[in-house]
A = this chain, B = another copy of it.
Amino acid sequence: MTALNELTASEAGQRIADGDVSCEELVRACLDRIEERDADVAAWVVVDPEHVLEQARMLDASSVSGPMHGLPIGFKDIIDTSDLPTRYGSPIYEGFVPEADSACVALARAAGAVIFGKTVTTEFAGRHPGPTAHPLKPEHTPGGSSSGSAAAVADFHVPLAMGTQTAGSMIRPAAYCGVYALKPTFGLFSMAGVHDLAETFDTLGIMARSIEDLALFRSVLMAIPTRPFAVVDSPPRVGFCRTPMWNEADQATHDHLEAAATRLGKAGARVVDLNLPSDFNDLLPVCWRIVVFEMARSLAHEKHTRADGISNKARQMIADGEATSLTTYLNDMRNIERLRILIHELMDDIDIILTPAAVGEPHVGHADTGPVTFNFLWHILNLPAMNIPAFTGPQGLPIGAQVVARRYEDESLLRHAAWVDQHIRG
């Protein structure tokens, strides 16, 4: 029998609804797991066990039952919570407790979720890493910037967590830790109450151990009715996109992705090679220029009042942003506007793109959380993307498959991804 903390959110929710398990029993199992494991994993900035138990007992005593009744969720610590400190990964905000919940926390809370704690983020969700280790091999990075969320879900601390992505901060840690992730179409999850980094790209997302759980939580965050999740009826039209960065992926990633494309075709999908035109080459500098330009503005308060509390990495990015001319920035913005139109034309007869989620297994070392190589492109195009934890590499660590859909087709992405998930493994 599966330990309670290892249940998916949907499974746990069903057990609670059936009266088999109380909210308190579920959160106790999660708290015990964290107690057992977090000295090694360091996924959490703060968990307040008494407050977690108090929420669970109130839910057990309540006559109302929302769609996430009793389900534990970790929130990346750049997301404001009115009842827990919010540090934004920065010593500048040590001990700070926001006045209000962010919109995503409020929506989850109103749906009956247990706000379990705050997960480790890199500083302001940028490049300066936090203390989190990979749950399987602690000398490896868990990825970032949503490091704690990915590790906490992968290591069975909680079934669900929220993170954010500005370039690769959802899909990469999900791939490294081996969990499912949904990074929705830009703008669909309200960023109200989330610390800004580069507003043109900042996007909230969800991590879970099943696609069904992503779909459930997405409904709550979109404040739409929850419905039973169903895989698509017929095999998708898949565009296998190696991207101009293909050679930066390692052999295991090449082999797994090529085999996956073949397997999906054999299972009935219409798989075509999606070769991007040269317009999509060399966009990584475009992504970073926009990020650093905007960081240098959005972090103005911290820069001007608490420069001593900013890491060298962030300080360098801010300096790079100050050195980027407005003309360059505006040309970059015009360029990606054009590419957002072009990619939709290229995806005209494709349901989902299949593409790597990362360059390979997570590397050894915690000085950085890994490259955004296979994440930034889809991200700057505002496309919804998911990680499917499909494979294991030669070091025994996860290798993900990323699937991507057109803007606003998030629901279709989830349903097609579920089909891919059923057929992608060997």
Contacts and interface: CB of A to CB of B under 8 A. Distances in A.
B337 A297 contact: no
Given A190-B196, A223-B322, 4 more contacts: A102-B301, A187-B199, A190-B300, A334-B407
Nearest to A306: B100
A191 B199 contact: yes
A7 interface: no
A100 B297 contact: no
Copies of this chain per assembly: 2
Contacts of A110: 300, 304
A222 interface: yes
Contacts of A341: 341
B103 A297 contact: yes
A109 interface: yes
Contact of A106 (B195, B199, B300): B300
A374 to B, nearest CB: 25
A224 interface: yes
Interface in A25-76: none
A104 B297 CA distance: 8
A105 B103 CA distance: 23
B103 A326 contact: no
A200 B187 contact: yes
Interface in A336-351: 337, 341
How many of chain A's residues touch chain B, expressed as a range?
35 or more
A221 B333 CA distance: 18
A116 to B, nearest CB: 18
A303 B289 CA distance: 38
Interface in A191-228: 191-193, 195-196, 199-200, 221-224
Nearest to A198: B190
Interface string A285-317: 000000000101111111111000000000000
B106 A301 contact: yes
Contacts of A322: 223
A101 interface: yes
Contact of A301 (B93, B101, B296): B101
A330 interface: yes
Contact of A190 (B221, B297, B330): B297
A16 interface: no
A107 interface: yes
Contact of A103 (B103, B109, B298): B298
Nearest to A110: B304
Contacts of A301: 82, 100-103, 105-106, 192-193
Given A297-B223, A301-B82, A99 B93 contact: yes
Interface in A349-386: none
A319 to B, nearest CB: 12
Contacts of A337: 407
B223 A192 contact: no
A83 to B, nearest CB: 11
A300 B333 contact: no
Nearest to A295: B190
A105 B96 CA distance: 20
28 contacts: A82-B301, A93-B99, A101-B300, A101-B301, A102-B301, A103-B298, A103-B300, A106-B301, A106-B303, A106-B305, A107-B297, A110-B304, A187-B199, A190-B196, A190-B199, A190-B298, A190-B300, A192-B195, A192-B196, A192-B297, A192-B298, A192-B300, A192-B301, A193-B301, A221-B297, A223-B300, A333-B408, A341-B341
